[in-house]
Amino acid sequence: MNYLWAFVVGGLICVAGQLLIDLTKLTPARILVTFVVSGVVLSAVGVWEPLVDFAGAGATVPILGFGHTLAQGVKQAVAQHGLVGVFTGGMTACAGGVSASLIFGFIASTLTKSKSQS
């Protein structure tokens, strides 16, 4: 049953993104930023944890999960380091994922040859 709920919730998040692309004039970059900020807001108001408990990876894998991770990193860093944590917490919490994406992107770019879009 966990797989079903993860699929449904993750799918609904993707449907929301697709509707924003199809029905608005928002650029994909603005939609991504909206999703990240939504993850931060849902985390701040306490809705995120119950959603993750219910949907598991269906909630944590999409870009909303990145916003939640940023918010939790800032929250922990502020508790430990004070105001400096506002600036360092998000990147500390996401350093592994960001580093992995940069490293794997670099490896992919060196092993493949780009093609012209035209």
pLDDT band for 12, please (50, 70, 90 cuts): very high
Q: What is the mean pLDDT of residues 48-60?
A: 86
C-alpha–C-alpha distance, residues 70 and 50, integer Å: 18
Q: From 62, 51, 94, select the one nearest 76 (Cα to Cα).
A: 94
Q: Tell which wins on pLDDT, 7 or 62.
A: 7
Place of tokens 């408990």: 53
Indicate the average pLDDT of the chain: 86
Model's pTM, two decimal places? 0.71
DSSP three-state, residue 112 = coil
Q: Where are the alpha helices (DSSP H) in 24-118?
A: 28-44, 48-55, 57-60, 63-81, 84-111
How much is the pLDDT for 58? 84
Q: Which helix (H) or strand (E) holds 32?
A: helix 28-44
- pLDDT per residue over 70-110, tens digit each? 888 888 888 988 888 888 888 788 788 778 888 998 999 89
